[in-house]
């Protein structure tokens, strides 16, 4: 809770909120906060940033608008595509502005309200400031917030969207970021075959192979990729050998601690069948290759997670197939085809 206050306060001070009492803010909302039964409490709720359809809509427009980049060519949606659960389809590294390549793989985006921190190294710790990272990153969108504000303020479309959302004409970056948090934070993925099976919905069954995979998963993977989010979001080394060219020290990049070298945030395995390539640097293009890593390539290096050993996990070829069959049940087709999260058509 401390961190949250620490981050919001400076924003509030910078943008003292002047709500014009004359303009009524839309209250009714079809956009709701979803907390699936049996899940832990989210880290971020909309208790302060009250949800409304108009705010969500503003956030959605911004997410898909290249206006947030320096040369108006790249939107958040360029690298985070709905069909692949908001990962960057088939891109090892994301192409940003001027076709510049980043050093890390774009993660899928869903269930973000449960994340204690963002990015592979946890370098950003609040969803309401998260967009500032990519917007100002020189190889992603390479823009500055003052420029973004100038462009957005000059747009008749945003003037009207903003007024409907926040009931005022004086735009602040906080108003934009909070709207984006409403769009991203309501992207909850909880309707995979696995979820329907767990909820005991009629007709939702797992095949024998999927069930074998599920049991293997619980014994070999769940300690880190913990149900129901399929991650506990801790920073760990799963024994990938560091890429000598990328020199990515992971969590240590943020903390400067030797004990954090080569640790990365444990990713969720929800929607994993559609978010290739895999790992922070996109080094593997198939789930089979990821499993081969765990059986054959776990490197005995500094900070290797104590839950893994240098000899790796023991899995037969059949067990790998079973595990992969189970991982496929984690794809949420409802989420990736949900119109509310799609690029708006005008
Ligand atoms: C050029 C491609 C690119 C663009 C454009 C981009 N992102 Fe990303 N995004 C990435 C990459 C790569 C990462 C991982 C970065 C890291 O770990 O250092 C990421 C990480 C994230 C995360 C953290 C997810 C997690 O699991 O920790 C969020 C949220 C996010 N981006 C939202 C956005 C938003 C909002 C925008 C638009 C303002 C945006 N992205 C624009 C490539 C991109
Ligand atoms: C010791 C903790 C740990 C265990 C056990 C573990 N993983 Fe991981 N896994 C991680 C971490 C950490 C990463 C992220 C590594 C990176 O990006 O550098 C990861 C990444 C992955 C990825 C890539 C995810 C993505 O979005 O790119 C897959 C797939 C995966 N693990 C599957 C499994 C499976 C299946 C098992 C069980 C056989 C398993 N893991 C066991 C910690 C673990």
For atom 21 of ligand 1, the residue with the nearest CA is 119
Report the pLDDT averaged over residues 226-240: 97
Give the distance (Å) from ligand 2 centre to CA of residue 7.
30
- Whether the CB-CB separation of 297 and 312 falls below 8 Å is answered with yes
pLDDT at res. 16: 36
- Which domains does the chain show, CATH number per domain? 2-189 (1.10.760.10), 193-330 (1.10.760.10)
Compare 299 and 172 and report the one with higher pLDDT: 172
> Looking at ligand 2, which atom is closest to the CA of residue 294?
38
Beta partners for 118? 124
pLDDT at res. 184: 98
pLDDT at res. 192: 98
Tell whether ligand 1 has an atom less than 6 A from the beta carbon of residue 91: no
Closest listed residue to residue 316, CA positions, set 205, 212, 243, 169:
212
> Looking at ligand 2, which atom is closest to the CA of residue 240?
18
pTM of the predicted model as reported, rounded to 2 decimal places: 0.92
Does position 5 have pLDDT exceeding 60, yes or no?
A: no
pLDDT at res. 19: 38
Task: For ligand 1, pick from 133, 141, 268 the residue to mutate: most ligand atoms within 8 Å of CB.
Answer: 133
Does position 3 have pLDDT exceeding 70, yes or no?
A: no
Give the distance (Å) from ligand 2 centre to CA of residue 115.
16
The rounded distance, in Å, linking the Cα atoms of 240 and 224 is 15
pLDDT at res. 56: 98
Give the distance (Å) from ligand 2 centre to CA of residue 238.
6
Give pLDDT tens digits for 269-283.
999 999 999 999 999
Report the pLDDT averaged over residues 247-268: 94
Beta partners for 278? 284
pLDDT at res. 214: 98
pLDDT at res. 29: 54
Tell whether ligand 1 has an atom less than 6 A from the beta carbon of residue 78: yes
Report the pLDDT averaged over residues 38-63: 97
The rounded distance, in Å, linking the Cα atoms of 173 and 177 is 6
Tell whether ligand 1 has an atom less than 6 A from the beta carbon of residue 79: yes
Give pLDDT tens digits for 28-46.
457 899 999 999 999 999 9
pLDDT at res. 345: 84
Task: For ligand 1, pick from 96, 108, 119 the residue to mutate: most ligand atoms within 8 Å of CB.
Answer: 119
Q: Using pLDDT thresholds of 50, 70 and 90, give the confidence band for residue 12.
A: very low
């Amino acid at each position: 809770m401390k961190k949250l206050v620490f981050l919001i306060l400076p924003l509030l001070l910078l943008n003292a909120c002047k709500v014009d009492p004359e303009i009524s803010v839309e209250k009714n909302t079809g956009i709701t906060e979803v907390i699936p039964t049996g899940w832990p409490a989210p880290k971020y709720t909309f208790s302060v940033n009250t949800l409304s359809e108009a705010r969500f809509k503003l956030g959605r427009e911004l997410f898909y608008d290249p206006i947030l980049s320096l040369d108006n060519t790249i939107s958040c949606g360029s690298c985070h595509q709905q069909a692949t659960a908001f990962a960057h389809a088939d891109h090892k590294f994301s192409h940003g502005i001027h076709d510049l390549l980043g050093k890390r793989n774009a993660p899928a985006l869903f269930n973000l309200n449960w994340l204690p921190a963002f990015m592979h190294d946890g370098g950003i710790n609040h969803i309401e400031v998260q967009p500032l990272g990519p917007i100002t990153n020189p190889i992603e969108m390479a823009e500055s917030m003052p420029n973004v504000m100038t462009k957005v303020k000059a747009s008749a479309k945003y003037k009207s969207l903003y007024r409907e959302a926040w009931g005022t004409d004086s735009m602040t970056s906080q108003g934009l970021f909070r709207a984006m948090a409403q769009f991203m934070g309501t992207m909850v993925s909880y309707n995979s075959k696995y979820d329907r099976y767990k909820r005991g919905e009629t007709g939702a069954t797992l095949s024998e192979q999927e069930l074998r995979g599920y049991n293997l998963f619980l014994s070999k993977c769940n300690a880190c990729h913990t149900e129901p989010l399929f991650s506990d979001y801790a920073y760990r080394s799963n024994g990938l050998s560091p890429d000598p060219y990328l020199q990515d020290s992971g969590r240590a990049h943020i903390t400067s601690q030797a004990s954090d070298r080569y640790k990365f945030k444990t990713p969720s395995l929800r929607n994993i069948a559609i978010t290739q390539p895999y790992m922070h640097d996109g080094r593997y293009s198939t789930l089979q290759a990821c499993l081969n890593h765990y059986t054959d390539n776990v490197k005995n290096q500094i900070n290797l997670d104590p839950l893994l050993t240098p000899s790796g996990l023991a899995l037969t070829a059949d067990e790998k197939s079973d595990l992969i069959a189970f991982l496929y049940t984690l794809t949420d087709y409802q989420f990736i085809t949900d119109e509310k999260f799609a690029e708006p058509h005008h």
